[in-house]
Amino acid sequence: MIRFLHTADWQIEKPFGGYAPDVAFALKEARFGAVERLARLAGERRVDFVLVAGDVFDANTVSDRAIQRTLDAMALFAGDWVLLPGNHDAAVAVSVWTRIERFRHAARVIVAERPEPIVLCDGRVVVLPAPLQRRHEGADVTAWFDAAETPPGAVRVGLAHGAVSNRLPAGAESDNPIADDRANRARLDYLALGDWHGFLEIAPRTVYSGTPEPDRYPANEPGFAALVEIDAPGSLPRVEKVATARFRWMRLDVELHGDIGALDAALDALGPTGTTLIDLTLRGTLPIRERVALEERLEAWRARFQDLRLDDAGLVDEPDVDDLDAIDLSGFVRVAVERLRRRAADPADPEREAAALALRMAFVDHARPTKAG
């Protein structure tokens, strides 16, 4: 039997633009932590080797420091690491792979930069790699697997980075195509894939491991690696999905009607929040006093999460009698307030949002308790 770890899409030194500097730094650091966890997992589960199916680095221009830290993290596992160039770190004339040779490290690294068999485990396993030698390939670079000769007693494992034809959801990247029957045509015991960032078993012998550390709000299942066992050539592989992520990226949709209690309940239900990033969508209607209270509650929640992004376009201010009385009792002209209320409630009014904001500001300015003189 052979046992190996299949991972992909580390994208070391991904910049995470659009996030606050401290959040971006934490997310970049987490990717080095993911490599360390993979190395420890490989050692604990006594795997024979590790396959990394492309996009080890986010770009060929990553810093020397990033390369060194990655190699040092990999050195925590004493076995072989087979690294495949992907579309982010393609094996071009000058690349991270031409630079990596000058670094001093203890990791056992095999760069699969050429389409030729790699023999492992004293000949019991042959890895057939399909490195990308440019960012986008129009042809299927796994086609050579079909005619590749390997010893009769060796397990055949394919290693590739791209989009399996007809098997990924609509909108998935279509560059770097891979035939959906490649495992069968090439007599592979397992086809280890990268590029799709979620764990996905295309077929019993064809698997995307996904990225070990999520890097976006997912519609798939990121944050895993595949632990693979194959008894002998021709045997079906046993694939275990192993959790590896530190950060949780979550989408949450909450309906609010009249008060903000549902928001607190939904966020409280998430459990520990320090390593969670939330993409929050709010819908429904709130009186002005609850809308003002919502802003304060969101600030408190933002301090608890690693990041909180808000879409409240579907949340409508709906002033009630108590709101209007609170404003009016503080000296506002009721006719003007009613006019703002009508405009804020009219979806067709181009000034709807401005009217709603004016009502909110009026409430904040005139409904707060009077200070003692």
Instruction: Indicate the residue type of 299.
Output: E
Whether the CA torsion 75, 76, 80, 85 is positive or negative: it is negative
Bridge partners of 118, per DSSP, are 127
Q: What is the structure's pLDDT at 371?
A: 43
- Sheet of strand 206-208: strand arrangement: 118-120, 125-130, 155-161, 190-194, 206-208, 200-203
Task: Tell the burial category of 368 from Cβ atoms under 10 Å away from its Cβ (0-12, 13-18, 19+).
Answer: exposed
In terms of residues, how long is the chain? 373
Q: For residues 168 and 197, is the Cβ–Cβ distance under 8 A?
A: no
CB-based contact 192:158 (threshold 8 Å):
yes
Confidence (pLDDT) at 144: 97
CB 341 within 8 A of CB 317: no
Task: Report the C-alpha gap between 220 and 239 in whole angstroms.
Answer: 18
CA–CA gap between residue 147 and residue 128 (Å, rounded): 11
Cα end-to-end span (Å), the chain: 84
Calpha distance 153→123 (Å, rounded): 8
Q: How far is CA 253 from CA 86, 250, 259, 343, in A?
A: 35, 10, 16, 27
The pLDDT, as a whole number, for residue 372 is 42
DSSP state of 287: -
From first to last of its 373 residues, the chain has per-residue pLDDT tens of 999 999 999 999 999 998 999 999 999 999 999 999 999 999 999 999 999 999 999 999 999 999 999 999 999 999 999 999 999 999 999 999 999 989 989 999 999 999 999 999 999 999 999 999 998 888 999 999 999 999 989 999 999 999 998 877 655 556 799 999 999 999 999 999 999 999 999 988 999 999 999 999 977 899 999 999 999 999 999 999 999 999 999 999 999 998 999 999 999 999 888 899 999 999 998 888 888 889 899 999 999 999 999 999 898 877 776 766 666 544 445 556 666 666 666 677 787 777 766 666 666 555 545 444 3
List of domains in the chain: 2-243 (3.60.21.10), 248-366 (no CATH)
Tokens of 365: 């300015």
Distance CA 328, CA 288 (A): 14
Beta bridge partners of 164: 178
Angle at 369 between CA 363 and CA 370, to 5 degrees: 115
Residue 224 host element (H or E): strand 224-230
Q: What letter represents residue 145's amino acid?
A: F
Name the pTM for this structure. Answer: 0.86
